[in-house]
Amino acid sequence: MKNVNKLILPALVLLVSAGVLGCKKTEVTSDGIEYTYIKEGKDATKEGEYVIYHFEAKNAKDSLFISSYSQPLPAYMQKNSNTPTSSGIDEIFLNLKRGDSIVVNATAQKIFGENGVPPFLKSEENVTITIGVVNVIEEELFQDYYNDMMAAEQEKQAKKAEAQLVTDIELIEKYISENNLDANRTESGLFYVIEKEGNGPEVEQGNSVSVDYTGYVLDGTLFDTSVEANARENGTYQEGRSYAPITISVGVGQVIKGWDEGLQLLKEGSVAKFIIPSPLAYGPSQRSAVIVPNSILVFDVEVTNVEK
């Protein structure tokens, strides 16, 4: 599935129930992959045109293992007859037409081929891929089309983040009250407590800063720390890991927004607590078993060095 890995970009998901298939047209690729048209488009895609499509993939137990619900935009690829194919799944994707809705059924080995079957699948396990073409766009119109989709998605996400921030602030204010914290709030929604004022240079955008930190969620569950004693105390110590301050460039997007903003409120030697609403952290993304979507993060930080 070498070429398909290049073609499949993050996408939304088209859900199709097995009962819809009925007596639809079924075909077989050159290497024996069976696929069925739920609906077949009429006009072949022309050279240079872009195919916009949705997709999902399920294992033999009907469990979704590739889901693009969390992805902002549909998948796309440009029609190019010179694109090499190494498997039947490549053939299917490269010949999508406007209006196509397809269900592919094959073993994991046939679908993933030379790239190797993912460890969570068995080679002979049946995999179902559902594909639905949303649109076919002329080459000269594609960039504007894509930019419009991106702008619409950004507006949608901004509105969600704004609503989530209101919810997060209520939870943070409750947390602050329950823990008797003397916290300040920035315009963006970051809450911070300066527990010790540093005597060194102020942290400014572009500075290289070394920081010791311990991070946890609102219920107190620790998810990461650079301090060995804290890791041992909380049962998260990892043999072989180097526990030491991390060094970052501030204000250039190397870290979450809450850190970029919060560190610029401190000086070398400062000790502080950041309480970061999810839009300034990882938003709706799940980063670990502890950092679930829309997690509010709390960090105890110490700025150990500032280089201008």
Domain ranges of the chain: 2-137, 165-307
More confident residue, 70 or 32: 32
What confidence tens digit (pLDDT) does each residue in 1-19 have?
433 433 333 333 333 333 4
Cβ atoms within 10 A of the Cβ of 22, count?
A: 7
Query: What confidence score (pLDDT) does residue 15 get?
Result: 36
Q: What would the DSSP string read from start to end of 18-66?
A: GGG-TT--EEE-TT--EEEEEE--SSPPPTTPEEEEEEEEE-TTS-EEE
Return the pLDDT at 302.
Answer: 98
% residues pLDDT > 70 (the chain): 91
- pLDDT value of position 85: 82
- For the full predicted model, state whether its pTM sits above 0.85: no
Q: Domain 2-137 adopts which CATH fold?
A: Chitinase A; domain 3 (3.10.50)
Range name among 14-18, 93-97, 214-218 with the lowest pLDDT average: 14-18
Architecture in CATH of 165-307? Roll (3.10)
Q: What is the pLDDT of residue 74?
A: 85
Q: Does the pLDDT value for residue 177 go beyond 80?
A: yes
CB neighbourhood size of 81 (10 A): 7
Burial group, residue 77, by CB count within 10 angstroms (0-12, 13-18, 19+): buried
More confident site: 286 or 48? 48
The percentage of residues in the chain with a pLDDT greater than 90, rounded to a whole number, is 77
Q: What is the pLDDT of residues 135-152, one digit of tens each?
A: 999 999 999 999 999 999
